[in-house]
């Protein structure tokens, strides 16, 4: 095992001025060694800019102002409180300066003298005020002008000053860090040297230097990560698999019996999967396809092929509702094709202890050949006899670690991951870099595009009548509300009241049901069954139906308080309709009447294409939380931002590709530093993820 090198990583106490107590505070902030501290990058910088004149300040930010005190400051007192006020006036305009609780300033500020005032400026009714500024002697200010002082993320007890001092003395004592990036890569990508980057990220001499330093460190994060992933992939490719399979007849028969034909994309992807499974190497494949593109059948085919070869397969899904549904579709498919001996089981968190014991036993004895379940599948009590295929549906709902946990259940099974989250390619590289990616880029041909509209609450009754008309034609509808119960602080629709109101409105002519996450699992399943069978005609629900639920007879989706959901989530919700032959409709009910919201929602009514929606979302929100994946993608990086540093990411990707071509195993001497960094990084990742779930 790689032992940590003492030279680049030592105890924090070796730094001058750090004792027990400070060391402990640093630990709480996740900083254990000197190396950690060097990589504890500032969150922001405080800039000592060139001072401006009184009339030239910009409201909303910190300003430094050069001005003369022309009269004795006035002090206003309110009980115990006081404000000291100075009026700075010159030919450019006027600025009021306020200090709180510092009446003594009246006597310490010298009339007729110049000062630099530095603080936040606000503007009210055209009057600009600087609040509670720092005060400098102009000559002293001149000495620090242009400096950018680091601002660190703090945990309680650790002051910014302590961190600054610690980093400064560490930088003084650390001679030079070893440069692990080969010169060639640095030159190709215009990157600065590592010691320069580290010292300038903490104490930049200029903005340009800061950018240069940041670029290098962001590049390093991407580069090392991608290199590590590429390494993992190389290892996987070398690995022979313990589950050699042959292509069989059963899948062919199933395909012949389906009530539809696979779309060209489904057909191509199934070909890829079949080849993977029969290749003698491990399959590691992600299927990306928009909602409704028909991913499930591909997973089922792979499970059937696995069964035909005598092995077990498991499918993990994120919700109980979905687990139930996938299980029933699977059972139906097996029955329709007279495939016997599978003994499929459904494993849920809500199973009773006795049920669970029975199911566990069937899984470990190998009697159950196909297993569908929720997170319950990755619990320690579940052990498989010969798990050869691990499928994760709606992967974006699980952490990467959970997916791994499922595959660790077998002796390295084939891995199939399915996701409806359309993500830009570079992001896929970070999140799923170790997987081969198949894209379902078409839709079943019998589908009609969902018709959309964005409306306000005055349209609600019309929408209800419209739903009633659809129900008369034999179809069904979903109504989504953000809340389960009324909540005074959040004035938006809730499932409980809404269901009652809708029942009253329809007066028994329409069968209305209710679903939310706080119901007992049994109740939930019953409601879903009643909806699937058509007994319930209109289902008022929270977003528990968001992922995967498939009731093709439902043709209307009415989403209340659409402003409360992200574009991606709305797109997923809409994906619950338009799954059959009939024309479907999605009504986005906007509760807030704001123009920004209308603009955002209009993207959804203009297109049903998930990839375009993802792009628009990204454009509008900038580097915001895109489809919830930002978090999981970003956890790996300290300084790099997958969106903002898109170009750096592309550079890093290219550099990894070139390196892997010229020195696939990093055996050349100039790459030895790199090899150590990568293995250290992954050791850290593994340490972190062990406490992850």
Residues that bind Mg ion (CB under 5 A): 548
Q: How far is the CB of 673 from ligand ADP (least distance, A)?
A: 45
Q: How far is the CB of 266 from ligand ADP (least distance, A)?
A: 6
52 binds, among Mg ion, ligand ADP, none (CB under 5 to 8 A by kind): none
Under a CB-based contact definition with an 8 Å cutoff, are residues 389 and 302 in contact? Answer: yes
552 binds ligand ADP (CB under 6 A): yes
Q: How far is the CB of 292 from ligand ADP (least distance, A)?
A: 5
Distances (CA, A) of 187 to 207, 227, 309, 411, 445: 21, 18, 53, 44, 51
260 binds, among Mg ion, ligand ADP, none (CB under 5 to 8 A by kind): ligand ADP
Pick 582 or 676: Cβ nearer ligand ADP: 582
Q: How far is the CB of 341 from ligand ADP (least distance, A)?
A: 24
Q: How far is the CB of 298 from ligand ADP (least distance, A)?
A: 8
Centroid of chain to Cα 357 = 35
Pairwise CA distance, residues 462 & 140, whole Å: 71
Token couple for 180: 């692990």
Nearest to 313 by CA among 304, 323, 322, 326: 304
Q: How far is the CB of 257 from Mg ion (least distance, A)?
A: 21
148 binds, among Mg ion, ligand ADP, none (CB under 5 to 8 A by kind): none
Under a CB-based contact definition with an 8 Å cutoff, are residues 636 and 220 in contact? Answer: no
Q: How far is the CB of 547 from ligand ADP (least distance, A)?
A: 9
Helix (H, G, I), strand (E, B) or coil at 370: strand
294 binds ligand ADP (CB under 6 A): yes
Chain positions 434 to 453 lying near ligand ADP, rule: CB under 6 A, are: 444, 446
Helix (H, G, I), strand (E, B) or coil at 442: coil
420 binds ligand ADP (CB under 6 A): yes
Token couple for 303: 């499970």
Q: How many residues bind ligand ADP (CB under 6 A)?
A: 18
Exactly one of 197, 229, 262, 316 binds ligand ADP (CB under 6 A); that residue is 262
Q: At what angle do helices 160-173 and 194-202 cross, to 10 degrees?
A: 150
Specify the pairing of strand 93-100 against strand 81-90.
Answer: antiparallel
Q: Could you count the other beta carbons within 10 Å of the beta carbon of residue 36? A: 15
Pairwise CA distance, residues 286 & 412, whole Å: 16
Pairwise CA distance, residues 70 & 63, whole Å: 20
Three-state SS annotation for 480-539: ECCECCCCCCCCCCEHHHHHHHHHHHHCCCCCEEEECCCCCHHHHHHHHHHHHHCCCCEE
Exactly one of 212, 293, 426, 525 binds ligand ADP (CB under 6 A); that residue is 293
263 binds ligand ADP (CB under 6 A): yes
Nearest to 601 by CA among 546, 552, 560: 560
Site string for ligand ADP, 271-290 (x = CB under 6 A): ------------------x-
348 binds ligand ADP (CB under 6 A): no
Position with the least CB separation from ligand ADP? 294
Centroid of chain to Cα 259 = 37
DSSP state of 378: G
Q: How far is the CB of 691 from ligand ADP (least distance, A)?
A: 32
552 binds, among ligand ADP, Mg ion, none (CB under 5 to 8 A by kind): ligand ADP
Q: How far is the CB of 552 from ligand ADP (least distance, A)?
A: 5
Pairwise CA distance, residues 270 & 247, whole Å: 12
Pick 422 or 548: Cβ nearer Mg ion: 548
Pick 323 or 527: Cβ nearer Mg ion: 323
Give the range of 260-268, 421-429, 507-515, 523-531 binding ligand ADP by CB under 6 A. Answer: 260-268
Exactly one of 296, 555, 572, 608 binds ligand ADP (CB under 6 A); that residue is 296
Q: How far is the CB of 290 from ligand ADP (least distance, A)?
A: 7
Pick 290 or 360: Cβ nearer ligand ADP: 290
Helix (H, G, I), strand (E, B) or coil at 348: coil
Buried b (16+ CB within 10 A) or exposed e, 587-609: bbbbbeeeeebbebbebbbeebe
Pairwise CA distance, residues 347 & 358, whole Å: 10
Q: Which residues contact 236 (CB under 8 A, 6 or more apart)?
A: 282, 284, 434
306 binds, among ligand ADP, Mg ion, none (CB under 5 to 8 A by kind): none
405 binds, among Mg ion, ligand ADP, none (CB under 5 to 8 A by kind): none
Distances (CA, A) of 403 to 54, 69, 187, 300, 386: 59, 66, 38, 18, 18
Pick 333 or 651: Cβ nearer ligand ADP: 333
Token couple for 537: 């005609």
Pairwise CA distance, residues 203 & 197, whole Å: 10
Q: How far is the CB of 325 from Mg ion (least distance, A)?
A: 9
Pairwise CA distance, residues 395 & 408, whole Å: 16
Pick 204 or 292: Cβ nearer ligand ADP: 292
379 binds, among ligand ADP, Mg ion, none (CB under 5 to 8 A by kind): none
Give the range of 227-235, 262-270, 350-358, 494-502 binding ligand ADP by CB under 6 A. Answer: 262-270
Site string for ligand ADP, 561-590 (x = CB under 6 A): ------------------x-----------
Please report, as ranges, the residues that interact with ligand ADP according to CB under 6 A: 260, 262-263, 266, 289, 291-297, 420, 444, 446, 550, 552, 579
């Amino acid at each position: 095992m790689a032992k940590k090198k003492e030279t680049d990583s030592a105890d924090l106490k070796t730094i001058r001025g750090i004792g027990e107590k400070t060391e402990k505070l640093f630990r709480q902030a996740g900083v254990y060694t000197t190396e950690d501290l060097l990589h504890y990058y500032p969150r922001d910088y405080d800039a000592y800019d060139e001072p401006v004149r009184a009339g030239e300040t910009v409201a909303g930010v910190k300003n430094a102002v050069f001005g003369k005190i022309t009269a004795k400051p006035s002090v206003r007192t309110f009980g115990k409180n006081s404000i000291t006020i100075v009026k700075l006036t010159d030919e450019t305009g006027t600025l009021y300066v306020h200090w709180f609780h510092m009446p003594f300033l009246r006597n310490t500020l010298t009339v007729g003298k110049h000062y630099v005032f530095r603080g936040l400026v606000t503007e009210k009714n055209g009057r600009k005020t600087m609040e509670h500024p720092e005060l400098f002697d102009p000559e002293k200010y001149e000495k620090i002008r242009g400096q950018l002082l680091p601002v660190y993320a703090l945990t309680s007890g650790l002051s910014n000053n302590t961190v600054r001092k610690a980093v400064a003395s560490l930088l003084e004592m650390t001679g030079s860090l070893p440069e692990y990036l080969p010169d060639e890569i640095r030159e190709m990508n215009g990157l600065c040297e590592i010691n320069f980057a580290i010292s300038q990220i903490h104490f930049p001499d200029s903005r340009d230097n800061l950018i240069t330093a940041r670029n290098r460190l962001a590049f390093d994060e991407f580069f090392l990560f991608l290199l590590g992933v590429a390494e993992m992939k190389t290892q996987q490719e070398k690995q022979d698999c313990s589950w050699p399979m042959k292509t069989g007849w059963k899948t062919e028969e199933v395909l012949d019996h389906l009530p539809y034909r696979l779309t060209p994309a489904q057909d191509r992807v199934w070909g890829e999967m079949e080849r993977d499974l029969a290749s003698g190497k491990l399959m590691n494949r992600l299927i990306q396809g928009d909602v409704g593109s028909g991913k499930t059948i591909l997973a089922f085919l792979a499970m059937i092929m696995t069964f035909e070869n005598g092995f077990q397969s498991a499918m993990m899904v994120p919700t109980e509702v979905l687990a139930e549904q996938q299980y029933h579709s699977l059972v139906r498919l097996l029955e329709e094709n007279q495939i016997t001996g599978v003994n499929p089981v459904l494993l849920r968190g809500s199973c009773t202890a006795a049920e669970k014991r029975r199911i566990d036993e069937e899984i470990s004895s190998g009697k159950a050949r196909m297993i569908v379940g929720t997170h319950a599948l990755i619990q320690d009590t579940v052990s498989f006899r010969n798990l050869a295929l691990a499928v994760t549906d709606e992967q974006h709902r699980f952490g990467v670690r959970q997916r791994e946990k499922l595959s660790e259940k077998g002796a390295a099974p084939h891995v199939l991951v399915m996701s409806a989250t359309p993500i830009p390619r570079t992001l896929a590289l970070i999140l799923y870099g170790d997987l081969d990616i198949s894209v379902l880029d078409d839709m079943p041909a019998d589908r009609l595009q969902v018709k959309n509209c964005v409306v306000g609450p005055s349209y609600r009754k019309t929408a209800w009548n419209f739903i009633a008309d659809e129900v008369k034609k034999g179809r069904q509808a979903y109504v989504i509300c953000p809340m389960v119960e009324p909540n005074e602080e959040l004035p938006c629709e809730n499932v409980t009241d809404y269901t009652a109101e809708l029942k009253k409105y329809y007066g028994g002519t329409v069968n209305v049901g209710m679903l939310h996450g706080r119901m007992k699992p049994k109740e939930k399943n019953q409601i879903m069954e009643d909806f699937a069978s058509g007994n319930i005609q209109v289902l008022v629900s929270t977003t528990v139906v968001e992922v995967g639920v498939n009731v093709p007879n439902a043709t209307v989706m009415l989403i209340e308080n659409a402003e409360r959901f992200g574009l991606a989530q709305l797109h997923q919700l809409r994906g619950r309709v338009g799954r059959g032959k009939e024309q479907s409709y999605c009504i986005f009910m906007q509760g807030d009447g704001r123009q920004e919201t209308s603009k955002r929602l209009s993207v959804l009514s203009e297109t049903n294409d998930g990839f375009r929606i993802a792009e628009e979302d990204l454009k509008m929100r900038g580097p915001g939380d895109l489809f919830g994946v930002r978090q999981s993608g970003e956890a790996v990086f300290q300084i790099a931002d997958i969106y903002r540093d898109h170009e750096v990411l592309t550079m890093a990707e290219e550099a990894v590709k070139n390196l892997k071509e010229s020195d696939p195993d990093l055996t050349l001497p100039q790459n030895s530093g790199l090899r150590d960094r990568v293995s250290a990084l992954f050791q850290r990742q593994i340490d972190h993820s062990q406490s992850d779930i």
